[in-house]
Structure 1
């Protein structure tokens, strides 16, 4: 399956610095999973903290994710990290 421009931009930002090799679908699963914040998953945190907010929203919509669920996970990361995250609910 060929990645879209949105997926390429997000995955480059999330994968490259950490030597990860996640797919867009794997990242999507992480950013709606509350356990990602509990285990402080680096890839999920990179999505919330390093990807531009407009691109985050586009990715969430493109992947068909529940924005409220994503917001809850972002909020959990915000609490444990001390960083203000744009998508935090």
Structure 2
């Protein structure tokens, strides 16, 4: 069951990276740099989680068993990204 932790952690890292990148887009000065570094760090964390996922469960080719798991995880983050993009500075 260890691979499930890496699977979900990887997806959460990717989606959190998008949220932070959205904030960094509207930031100025040092906050933009901090946002960029944090976003890139989360993307790197996602890649590491994927590698560990494949290490502990190499024979699985699909990420989610059914589409409901994917929708439950992804839809809230998509809503957050849309809200963040619609916020005017």
RCO higher in structure (CA 8 A, sep ≥6): 2
TM norm. shorter chain > 0.5: no
Larger fraction in helix: 2
Q: TM-score, normalised on structure 2?
A: 0.28
Q: TM-score, normalised on structure 1?
A: 0.28
